[in-house]
Amino acid sequence: MPPALLYCADPLDERRVDGHFAAEAREARAHGGTVARVDHDALLRGDAERAAARVPEGCGPCWYRGWMIPADRYRDLARALERRGASLLVTPEQYRTAHELPGWYEEFAELTPVSAWTEGAADAAALALRLPPGPGIVKDYVKSRKHEWDEACYVPDLRDPAGLGRVVGRFAELQGEWLAGGIVLRAFEPYEKPASAATELRVWWLDGAPRLITPHPDGPAAHDPDPVPGPELARIAAAVARLGCRFVTTDLARRTDGVWRVVEVGDGQVSDAHPTTAPGLLPRLLLDGQGPSGGSRPGPRRDVSNPDPPDRL
């Protein structure tokens, strides 16, 4: 039997799947998958039992597909699901490893910009001394604020304590209670302007194999991105294998010298897809372990946690 897929519930109607994931959920059901819902808001409030309440007893192995979850809350969800006879196929340890930069950086150090980090508050100027001089990027263990580029992300000179402190302080202020882990500084590398999806890609890895290559979610629309050059993908595959996590995404950007670089690693369960990505690709991948052309297609199965008609998804 294929694993179940756990999607976030609509915060305004817990009988429905969140609209952002509704098309995926419909495709999962059409492909024979069992769909259940998790209350993401309850999980963030610390009520893991409430979050898991609509997952059927004895559900068995599950993939989560939804909004990001802090690593500690993911652990709480895993424990609540275990009490209901369900088990996440990505363990809490694997989730934290792929989701937070300190967990994945060592394996990708030669493929990604030089980085340094600390837990909580820190002397940013001392942290910057661990990076080469020049411009840098500020983020936390999980996210940057690239949409506030000059204000809370980009540092023109890491050796300028005042400028660095200003950007780090503003970043921490804007992140507020959602600051994940601590401050991360990364060396800035110039990338090609993303005029097409071929310069920013997201590679989806399942059990160490690259199963899908899609445009980066923030990139321009495109039908089929150019493939990543073979030798570079092979180097990334080696790092993914060393990481040892089941479902991983790697975000790639092409530097101005033509070299592909890993700019982010993530847990695939909480990685978004580009709007042009067919909604059935990821459910099929997780249900039968195949890419878009693989696997059989069993008959429909209803959403076991939803007694309402299928169109409510």
Q: What is the pLDDT of residues 249-286, one digit of tens each?
A: 999 999 999 899 999 999 999 999 999 899 999 999 99
Contact 25, 17 (CB under 8 A): yes
Q: Is residue 215 part of a domain?
A: yes
Percent of the chain whose pLDDT exceeds 90: 78
**Span 240-247, mean pLDDT?**
97
Residue 304 above 80 pLDDT? no
Q: What's the pLDDT at 194? A: 65
* 294-299 average pLDDT score: 32
> What distance in Å separates the CA atoms of residue 289 and residue 283, rounded to the nearest whole number?
9
Domain stop point among 154, 187, 220: 187
Domain range for 133 is 115-187
Please check whether residue 253 lies inside any domain of the structure.
Answer: yes
Has residue 144 got a pLDDT over 50?
A: yes
Residue 279 maps to a domain: no
Tokens read off for 99:
């989701």
CA-derived radius of gyration, the chain: 20
| Same domain flag for 91 and 15 | yes
Task: Report, as an integer, the average pLDDT of 232-248.
Answer: 95
pLDDT at 217: 87
Residue 211 has pLDDT above 50, yes or no: yes
**Which region holds residue 208: left if phi is over 0, alpha if psi is between -120 and 50, else beta?**
left
As a whole number, mean pLDDT of residues 65-85 equals 98
Considering the domain boundaries, does residue 68 fall inside one? yes
pLDDT at position 288, please? 87
Q: Do 237 and 307 have their domain in common? A: no
Which residue, of 167, 187, 207, is where some domain finishes? Answer: 187
Q: Is-contact 1 60, C-beta < 8 A?
A: yes
Across 203-231, b (16+ Cβ under 10 Å) vs e yields bbbbeeebbbbbbbeebeeeeebeebeee
The CATH code of the domain that includes 235 is 3.30.470.20
181 and 198 share one domain = no
Reported as a pLDDT band with limits 50, 70 and 90, residue 171 is: very high
Among 187, 204, 229, give the residue marking a domain's end: 187
Tokens of 88: 């996440």
> What total number of domains does the chain contain?
3
- Indicate whether 151 and 218 sit together in one domain: no
Q: Which residues lie across from 13 on neighbouring strands?
A: 10
Write phi, then psi, for 95 (nearest 5 degrees): -60, -50
Distance CA 72, CA 302 (A): 32
In whole angstroms, give the CA distance from residue 161 to residue 99.
29
Computed over every residue of the chain, the mean pLDDT equals: 88
pLDDT band of 225, cuts 50, 70, 90: low
Query: Is there a single domain that holds both residue 20 and residue 89?
Result: yes
Give per-residue pLDDT as tens, 91-134: 999 999 999 999 999 999 999 999 999 976 568 999 999 999 99
Provide the pLDDT for residue 301. 33
User: Please, are residues 4 and 35 in contact by the beta-carbon 8 Å criterion?
Assistant: yes
**Residue 180 sits in the same domain as residue 195:** no
- The answer to the question of residue 36 being in a domain is yes
Residues 142 and 199 both lie in one domain: no
- Cα 238 to its chain centre, rounded Å, is 19
Judge if 305 and 227 occupy the same domain: no
Provide mean pLDDT across the span 189-195.
82
Does residue 16 form part of some domain?
yes
Q: Is residue 284 part of a domain?
A: no
Domain shared by 180 and 201, yes or no: no
Q: Which two tokens stand for residue 263?
A: 């700019």
